[in-house]
Amino acid sequence: MKKVPERLIDENMLRVDGRRWNELRPIKLEVGILSNADGSAYIEQGRSKILAAVYGPRELHPRHLALPDRAMLRCRYHMAPFSVEERKSPAPSRREIELSKVIREALEPTIFLELYPRTAIDLYIEILQADGGTRCAGITVASLALADAGIPMRDLVVACAAGKVDGQIVLDLNDVEDKLGEADVPLAMMPSLGAITLLQMDGMLTVEEFEQAINLAMEGCRQIYKLQKEALKAKYTAIKEEVETQ
């Protein structure tokens, strides 16, 4: 069992993993890593590791579910049995089913679903290692995988959480902070359009604290957005440089 820390923020104002209140965990993003998927992406955010794959748009089976005026986005958020300390049953839990729905609804506004009626876009988000903030990181990778699949989108969707830990508003909570802290506010947005597509809260905050948390989470989103764009372009700029310096 993990040792439970006595305090989540020490006398130097550092958090359990040594971050300051407004710091994100280190993020690593990779795009196009699965050859059999139409689009794929991988994220490491601190100790959370997530893989996303997109298939489609493709014909929807069973046929009678097809929507006559738009494509259907189907999303599966799934935690691997080995992703948490105590083995998790591979069957989808209540929480995973809910998160699948929430993530789908966070991504639907960005996709031009009406362009491809009667088809399905299948999105699989696999949590390989969970250390808090997996719904946010899941949304962040999923939108990269969608862009990699060449699906027309209004903007990339980025997600990031803010919360309250030991009386202090902090950015990007990890597992311990999420479980022992006072509140957690996950937020997903389309930064170029300034639109929020997901906003949840767990715990208690005053109105002022809530506003502070939202602003902090949006700031975190903008930082991740830059990394997302770089990750998408990385493959192509590498080829271009290699070819043109020859």
Partner 1 sequence: MRFYENRQLVTPGDLLAEGDYVAGKNTYRIDNRIYASRLGLVEYGDREVRVVALNAFYVPSVGDLVIGKITEVNVNGWIVDINSPYSAILKASDVFERGFKPQKDDLTEIFNIGDLILAKITSYDRTRNPQLTIREPGLGKITKGQIVKITPTKIPRVIGRKGSMINTLKRETGCRITIGQNGLILIHGKNPDDERLAIMAIHKIELEAHTSGLTDRVTEMIRREKGVRDEEGS
Which span (90-98, 126-134, 169-177, 231-239) binds partner 1, by CB under 8 A? 231-239
β-strand pairing of 119-129 with 72-79: parallel
- Taking a C-beta distance cutoff of 8 angstroms, is the pair 14, 214 a contact? no
**Least gap, CB of 154 to partner 1 (angstroms):** 7
- Residue 7 or 233: which CB sits closer to partner 1? 233
Tell me, residue by residue from 92 to 111, as one string, x for binding to partner 1 by CB under 8 A and - for no binding. Answer: ------------------x-
Q: How far apart are CA 210 and CA 197, in angstroms?
A: 17
Longest dimension (CA), the chain: 61
Residue with tokens 């579910």: 65
Are 103 and 142 a contacting pair, CB within 8 Å?
yes
Alpha-carbon distances of 236 from 83, 147, 153, rounded to whole Å: 32, 14, 19
State which of residues 24, 49, 53, 57 lies at the interface with partner 1 (CB under 8 A).
Answer: 57
Q: Which of 160, 166, 156 is nearest to 185 (CA)?
A: 160
The one segment of 44-52, 75-83, 116-124, 162-170 that binds partner 1 by CB under 8 A: 116-124
Selected binder of partner 1 within 44, 45, 103, 116 (CB under 8 A): 116
Q: Please state, in angstroms and rounded to a whole number, the distance separating the CA atoms of residues 205 and 54.
A: 36
Give dist(CA 117, CA 35) in Å, integer. 26
The reply to whether 226 sits near partner 1 by the rule CB under 8 A is no
Pick from 7, 20, 101, 233: which binds partner 1 (CB under 8 A)?
233
Q: Shortest approach of partner 1 to residue 33 CB, angstroms?
A: 14
In the complex, the residues that contact partner 1 under the rule CB under 8 A are 38-39, 56-59, 68, 110, 112, 116-119, 147-150, 152-156, 190-193, 228-229, 232-233, 236-237, 239-240, 243-244
